[in-house]
Structure 1
């Protein structure tokens, strides 16, 4: 079998899909994207195709090594995300060629269903309690929320109490048999993290995500030691070498993104590394159906999976949603806050190619907001 072509599709709301075709008619799908830089990643995929066309798609590890290291300059979100989508598609081809799900090729399933959580708002919240109750009524057992709007380097008591009051209100509404993850998106400085997190402890968050920007990863241990709340990070780390810097710091949850951190091949290695540090796995995935399918293939084979993020109904998905590009939507049917083991070959999904092609005719140019503080200076979004 030989690879004959790679084609990318920019589809709403902010995704990039990749189709790899072979001379035996087996097609693999991947999702190589950096949100807000989709065109750039698509260009990187096109450049990497020079190595792949004419090659055996089943030599996944050799391709991964060449694509990540063969260009001399390495790493970073664009290259790692391009490789991630290619890697997903190659695993999809391999599973389909052998007639088995990818999790079977990773050693088999270690669980029969995987827990998932749902997103609610939180940046500038008016109705987060109602959203949390709605998700609970839908059967979810956990939600994640953004904790705050933009923050000052050292913000006011009012801003701090606003964060605490939102979490406290949700906890009171949903009760103790329900988990609340709190995402700071790197908006806290080190002193603000030390101030805010201990005040959240009475409400027992599931975990606090990315309290610091990844550039401050060498300080994450200070934050871990300042609170009893489990700390999660990793959506902006792109390899096992990036995770090597934080796994020994005492974090509780590693959050590699299957569309950013080198795909299935690399995230399964990150998961194994994390297990050695007693760190659980919760793959980052506010993306499309191919990324989620890839996450689940790893998650069902990873002993240390904690929970899986998924984007159905997330605030980014205006106009298009997770299921719009699938012919069989039942693969992502959630029951009691869990998703069942996928059983179809490859990534376990059937992409609606006509829907993808129609969406790609319009494309997108999604960009994240630019936030500023009260004095006009740049603030983390």
Structure 2
């Protein structure tokens, strides 16, 4: 079997473009991968297309060899866009391997340890506030809206949520972002009060047993992250998600608070994760498999296990990345929970031959060959991304 073609599709995912990779073979088997990147979708797709020249005629079953061959080809562009393009190709190759061997990818990775995966509702309230019309859900405007949203969480059986510092009408206005100006990384009084009010409202409405996380990404540096972490201590957080490139800084945050610390969505490759593991800088790590692929993603999870660190993958990309994540999470001992965009594009299920099976906040692990679903090209073409290159 040989690779005969590599194609990319950039599809509207409402608040982000979905970037898919399709690999064709001379046997008729095709594989699908995901390399969604919010701000640089066209650049990643162009890099996939460049790597396609390096893939034609090669054995699609040799995913490990393909990874290192592409890494060598892109040696001076390691990381960033190149790594993401390589990851989309890698996942598509694993999809082909599973189909060729008539086995789920999780079977090829060692066999599943669980039949279902606990999901947490990500961007809970955030997407609803920004994209309520496209998502066909009520707009989030007040703390009462958060209480009503909390009832939806309970009714659907989710055991955890993740939200953000929200712009809610009955809370103090948040500082405006200054485009083009460096971020000092400090946190304002308004931001702390907003976080405390939003998280407090969720906690009151959800009760003590539902996990609550807040995502601040790269917004706050050491001092700001510590202030926020300490302010959130009364709410027994599932975690505070804060990103940094410095393991020592993150370790300082972790040691300064009882709030659980999670990070890692922006790192690529075991070598970038290793200093954070060696420093024991976090409680939970969240590798992104759209940006690390199956090959490197599984290695990262295994490395995390050696350092006693839980895995809760970053997964606010396409439904294909949910399948990639599910196949890996099914086989690792240190799985905690999986991010899931519940307020997603209304056409998410339409593009899949086999939509997700979700019950009571849990995703059923599929038994089909490959990653678990093909994509329907005619449906992809109905929803081209037109939102530009900025998230």
Q: Do they fold alike, i.e. is TM over 0.5?
A: yes
Partner in structure 1 of residue 369 of structure 2: 345
Q: Residue 354 in 1 paired to residue 358 in 2?
A: no
CA deviations over 1:39-84 (Å, ceiling 9, x no partner): 1001000111111100000011000011123333142220111011
Aligned length: 358
1:224 and 2:227 matched: no
SS class of match (1:139)? coil
Q: Which residue, out of 180, 195, 198, partners 2:227?
A: 195
2:352 matched residue in structure 1: 326
**Aligned to 1:133, which of 128, 134, 151?**
151
| SS state at 1:48 partner | helix
User: For 1:142 and 1:117, how far apart are their aligned partners in 2?
Assistant: 5
Say if 2:186 and 2:224, in contact at 8 Å, map to a contact too. Answer: yes
Kept in 1, the 8 Å contact 2:185–2:219? The answer is no
CA distance in 2, matches of 1:288, 1:122: 17
Deviation, 1:277, is 0.9
Please say if residues 311 and 322 of structure 1, whose CA atoms lie closer than 8 Å, have aligned partners that are also in contact.
no
CA distance in 2, matches of 1:93, 1:122: 36
Q: Over residues 131-155 of structure 1, what are the superposed CA-to-partner deviations in whole Å (9 max), with x where a residue is unaligned? A: 2321221111111101355687444
CA distance in structure 2 between the partners assigned to 1:153 and 1:92 by the alignment: 41
SS of residue in 2 equivalent to 1:257: coil
1:269-314 Cα shifts (integer Å, max 9, x gaps): 0000000111011111111111110000000011111101122314
CA contact (8 A) 1:193 1:223 kept: yes
Q: Quick one: structure 1 residues 165 and 80, their matched pair in 2 at CA, closer, same or farther if it must change by over 3 Å?
A: same
- SS across alignment from 1:301: coil
Partners in 2 of 1:365 and 1:155 — Cα distance? 30
CA distance in 2, matches of 1:232, 1:208: 6
Moved over 6 A (4+): none
> CA–CA distance in 1 between the matches of 2:9 and 2:373?
17
Aligned with 1:18: secondary structure? strand
Task: Render the CA deviation track for 1:103-131: whole Å, top value 9, x for unaligned.
Answer: 00000001121101112124976333322
Contact 1:285–1:291 (CA under 8 A) maintained in structure 2? yes
Normalised TM-score (structure 2): 0.87
Matched with 2:302 is 272
Q: CA offsets, 1:199-220, max 9 Å, x none?
A: 211111111112x4x3344411
Does the aligned pair in 1 maintain the 2:63–2:93 contact within 8 Å?
yes
State the alpha-carbon separation in 2 of the partners of residues 81 and 365 from structure 1: 20
The one of 260, 271, 286 aligned to 1:255: 286
Distance between the aligned counterparts of 2:320 and 2:31, measured in 1? 10
**SS of corresponding position for 1:248:** helix
Measure the CA separation in 2 of the matches of 1:292 and 1:122.
Answer: 20
| Match among 319, 329, 335 for residue 299 of structure 1 | 329
In the alignment, structure 1 residue 164 sits paired with structure 2 residue 196: yes
Contact 1:41 1:79 in 2 (8 A): yes
Flag structure 1 segments of 5+ consecutive residues without an equivalent: 370-381
